[in-house]
A = this chain, B = another copy of it.
Amino acid sequence: MGSESNNLEFLKEIGLGSTNIGSFINGQWKANGSSVTSVNPSTNQTIATVTEATVADYEEGLQACSEAAKTWMTIPAPKRGEIVRQIGDALRAKLDPLGRLVSLEMGKILAEGVGEVQEIIDMCDYAVGLSRQLNGSIIPSERPDHMMFEVWNPLGIVGVITAFNFPCAVLGWNACIALVCGNCVVWKGAPTTPLITIAVTKLISEVLEKNKLPGAIFTSFCGGADIGEAISKDTRIPLVSFTGSSKVGSIVQKTVTERFGKCLLELSGNNAIIVMDDADIKLAVRSIFFAAVGTAGQRCTTCRRLYLHESIYTNVLDQLAGLYKQVKIGNPLEKGILVGPLHTRSSVENFKKGIAAIKSQAWKILTGGTVLESEGNFVQPTIVEISSDAAVVKEELFAPVLYVMKFQNLEEAIALNNSVPQGLSSSIFTQTPNTIFKWIGPRGSDCGIVNVNIPTNGAEIGGAFGGEKATGGGREAGSDSWKQYMRRSTCTINYGSELPLAQGINFG
């Protein structure tokens, strides 16, 4: 662990060592793949090593998981809720070290690392209540002595493939709901955040063990594209929840739907904030700042496009530039730091390419635009004045680069917001009811998340999270997202002795 080891004592609290086995199969930690390193993005030094799973490991895991599914789905839902409650408590007890690990391995600042773990805990609490509310319906039948039921049954196994930027919250959104719904979970975490995958899996596995339940109910893999592909192709997995880019998501979707499986996709965002002339500018500026530089621009909900009404354009831009110039960049575990590193060296390369493209098209970089000299992956948060026609504006550059554009009226602003392939998140700042309700209405934002006077990022779990168009259409966390994790049976029961037919048809 080299020079960092002094500060890494806390990893022991959550079951991690300098070498770790990266998959949890049939209730056991075993992995036969290659050894990979987990790297601190602030220093590019190794934190620890992890043995990944092979496809054979995967197969062993899935066989056990399929078997466990038969047990888990017949346990009453409120009892499954009790298990999820205990998982929540286990996470709560380790909130601090887990949050630190997220910050350390992913690179987000500590407040966000802790917030991410808190989000799984919130999900657990929520799912406990839900375990008594996975309600079907009793629907009036048009036929005498008949009853119609809509029954929700478990799918069996849910595959969850998560991304580096929310290395555990996205698992939480999916697993908490999937588990109370009666499904086993097969998790493949991001290849670059294996320690988080392991630490979270350990806590969950301990709860299962304590309750004498098969460990295979929660099966987890550190691994790469081969594991992801195995999940996509596996007919034993009726639902694959995938978080990542639109490009990879499209491939996953094709693979899964070819076998008539279901996908829940959370793909690329390219999120805009609109500031109207009547906005609370102070609120808007704080929000844009958080939305654009938070998590070093690596949230799917990061604000990448900023549309300013011409009358407040200069004012907002000046205030923003002021904040950008003061923002502290550095070790995300350190107090006062607001911008940590990009997650990997390859992210830095992407940033460089993006900036080069911007420059080549002669767009104006107002502030930022350079990579910091350091051992870590630090880049400057960047503001670019650009035309809304520019091709780069349509793409998701996964870095803290904010494109700023001008508009003249609401209709134009909405059209611009809707003019990109992605449809995840969007915000407007205004104090006019008419504007608010148009924005959230039929001809308003076409995104899944449509905010007013708050940033594009920072969703609560009670609502459904996800986006439209190239963002993939999936919905996670709250509302009726749970229905995606179950199969719906429309049942008609004839308890009489006659056979009346629907639509009054007379047959024979």
Contacts and interface: CB of A to CB of B under 8 A. Distances in A.
Given A433-B431, A495-B437, A507 B140 contact: no
Contacts of A153: 441-442, 444
A503 B238 CA distance: 31
Give chain A's interface secondary structure class: mixed
B294 A489 contact: no
A143 B487 contact: no
A436 interface: yes
Question: How many copies, total?
Answer: 4
Contacts of A138: 135-138, 149-151
A322 interface: no
Contact of A502 (B85, B442, B458, B475): B458
Interface stretch (A16-24, A29-37, A397-405, A446-454): A446-454
Given A137-B138, A449-B490, A453-B493, 12 more contacts: A77-B140, A77-B142, A125-B128, A129-B132, A146-B454, A253-B257, A257-B257, A338-B507, A338-B508, A451-B493, A453-B494, A468-B487
A448 B260 CA distance: 14
Given A118-B504, A462-B78, A473 B133 contact: no
A6 interface: no
Interface of A: 70, 73-79, 81, 85, 111-112, 114-116, 118-119, 122, 125-151, 153-154, 182, 238, 246, 250, 253-254, 257-258, 260, 262, 280, 283, 286-287, 289-290, 294, 338, 421, 431-434, 436-438, 440-454, 458-465, 468-470, 472-473, 475, 478-480, 487-497, 499, 501-508
A78 B142 contact: yes
14 contacts: A73-B442, A78-B122, A118-B503, A131-B140, A132-B142, A137-B137, A139-B462, A150-B479, A250-B257, A286-B508, A449-B490, A451-B491, A454-B494, A458-B503
